[in-house]
Amino acid sequence: MAVTNDVFSPALALRMDTTYGWEKRYIARAIVVDSLCALIGALVGFGIRFDTPDAAPFPNMALGVGLPIIWPMLVALSRGYAPGLLGVGSEEFRRLLNAAIGLTATVAVLAYATKTEISRGYVLLAIPLAAFLNLVARYVMRKRLHLLRARGQCMRRVVAVGHRAAVTALIRQFRREPYHGMGIVAACVPTRGGEGLGRRLDGVPVMGHLADASRVVRLVGADTVAVLACPEMDGAELRQLAWQLEKTGTDLCVAPALLDVAGPRTTIRPVAGLPLIHVDHPELVGAKRLVKNVFDRIAATVALLFLVPVFLVIAVLVKVTSPGPVLFRQTRVGKDGAEFRMLKFRTMVHDAEQLKNELTTQNETDGVLFKIKSDPRVTRVGSCLRRYSLDELPQLINVMLGEMSLVGPRPPLPEEAAQYGRVVRRRLVVKPGMTGLWQISGRSDLAWDEAVRLDLQYVENWSLALDMLILWKTVAAVIRGSGAY
């Protein structure tokens, strides 16, 4: 047996439950919170719809009393308490919405079929309000869970299986984004004989060969195995591993060779007895893109109307604190390589572009970007505007004109786009955005390769739901002000 046991304390050899105690407590709290939200929705809807309890027919009272019990049951039927949904992704919220739609439809159908007098106004008040409160409450619970995970609590213990480079990349990814709740505690990699065992990959010990994964799981008390794209782990080997992990209830995650493509674009279809992953093309044209464009322009127009006072205040501050124009116009590269003039509030001295050549040696980023944390060209007002992304508000005009989108890849400079390779140019098949995955994942603190990966991930997996999620998270990223300079 190739597994080494000299790199962990004996305490780690204890086998943990597949469903951790914290998961059980979290789900129990979620059930209580869901019931309370349903109760509040029922009471508020009742108070708005009926003046007195005597004015409410019995079926409405029965629905109000039963809603706190029925609601968590429907959420459970929608698999809204699945442990795999805790803390990540939009699926948890989507299932809550499905439960609300299902409950509304069920009540309507039953009332019609049995000719029961249920107030439509009450149903349309109580259930949507309960669902809204539930979404907010689950979001608060999620943010608290993220805070605990940032401290190293409520984490799943993962054994990573694959080649060294892939395992190292996964370790760094999970450390950058601890909210996923995955902590790699050991690795199994292809080795010759005992070569490399006991060594560490970015601080994580290599404890065995690929075939030793199930033994390592028992040794370190892991509850999840992540198998990365690896030719040595063929179908037969993976099936054997799945059978071994089944005995201990250990979760198995398999990363496909095609990275950064997930969600609605992938489906598993049996062909000739083989489970094949079918990959749909990204939705770069069509009805959904039309809806996105219409939404962008309407939202940008409405935002501009409401932000007129803010624009005036910022314009005055920029004008009186440094000489030069209020707006800064810069040529950027948009969809399919078309150039346009992007608008921003001026945050630098008026001759900043001429001074750039003198500062090239102080560039603090890799790749093709030029960024300096303490850029001497930035004015005092400009520094504040940049911190909270207020300098980018005029880009709403670019969005209204159809040159940009609310959400999309970062708009590059022509000299940056000229250095793009064939892979990176994939970013240009969609409109650039005022915000994107790069904005909510670190902004200017991101390495070039990571920024490119996020932009490509957005292009490959775009959806209206993803846009809404990014817009929601952008608010928190802007309030924090981190990574902006």
pTM: predicted TM-score of the whole model, two decimal places: 0.69
Please write the tens of the pLDDT for every residue from 471-481. Answer: 988 887 777 76
Please write the tens of the pLDDT for every residue from 400-455. Answer: 999 999 999 989 889 888 888 888 888 899 999 999 988 887 665 667 777 888 88
Instruction: Please give the share of the chain, as a percent, with pLDDT higher than 90.
Output: 31
Any residues with CB less than 8 A from the CB of 477 and at least 6 apart, and which?
439, 440, 443, 483
Given a cut of 60, is residue 256 above it in pLDDT? Answer: yes
Average pLDDT over residues 171-192: 87
d(CA 20, CA 26): 10
Question: What confidence tier does 26 reach under pLDDT thresholds 50, 70, 90?
Answer: very high
Given this model, what pLDDT does residue 13 score? 33
Q: What are the percentages of helix, strand and coil residues in the chain, rounded to 5?
A: 55, 15, 30
Q: Which residue has the higher pLDDT, 341 or 176?
A: 341
Quote the mean pLDDT of the chain. 82
Q: Which residue has the higher pLDDT, 449 or 217?
A: 217
Average pLDDT over residues 241-262: 78
Alpha helices in 337-436 (DSSP H): 352-356, 380-387, 395-400, 414-417
| Burial profile 11-37: b = 16 or more Cβ within 10 angstroms, e = fewer | ebeeeeeeebeebeebbeebbebbbbb
Chain centroid, CA 351 distance in Å: 39
Q: Are 159 and 220 in contact (CB under 8 A)?
A: yes
d(CA 344, CA 328): 5
Given this model, what pLDDT does residue 403 score? 94
Given a cut of 70, is residue 358 above it in pLDDT? Answer: no
d(CA 366, CA 363): 8
Dihedral of CA atoms 147, 148, 150, 155 in degrees, nearest 10, equals -140
Given this model, what pLDDT does residue 456 score? 85
d(CA 485, CA 480): 13
Backbone angles phi, psi at 461, to 5 degrees: -125, 25
Given a cut of 50, is residue 19 above it in pLDDT? Answer: no
Given this model, what pLDDT does residue 354 score? 66
Given this model, what pLDDT does residue 134 score? 95
Given this model, what pLDDT does residue 265 score? 67
d(CA 44, CA 127): 10
Given this model, what pLDDT does residue 7 score? 41
Quickly count: other Cβ atoms within 10 Å of residue 469's Cβ: 17
Question: What confidence tier does 331 reach under pLDDT thresholds 50, 70, 90?
Answer: very high
The residues facing 80 across adjacent strands are: none
d(CA 6, CA 19): 27
Please write the tens of the pLDDT for every residue from 155-172. Answer: 889 999 988 888 998 898
Given a cut of 70, is residue 261 above it in pLDDT? Answer: no
Q: Which residue has the higher pLDDT, 61 or 35?
A: 35
Q: Which residue has the higher pLDDT, 79 or 9?
A: 79
| Segment among 41-45, 90-94, 260-264 with least mean pLDDT | 260-264
Given this model, what pLDDT does residue 6 score? 41
Given a cut of 50, is residue 5 above it in pLDDT? Answer: no
Given a cut of 60, is residue 83 above it in pLDDT? Answer: yes
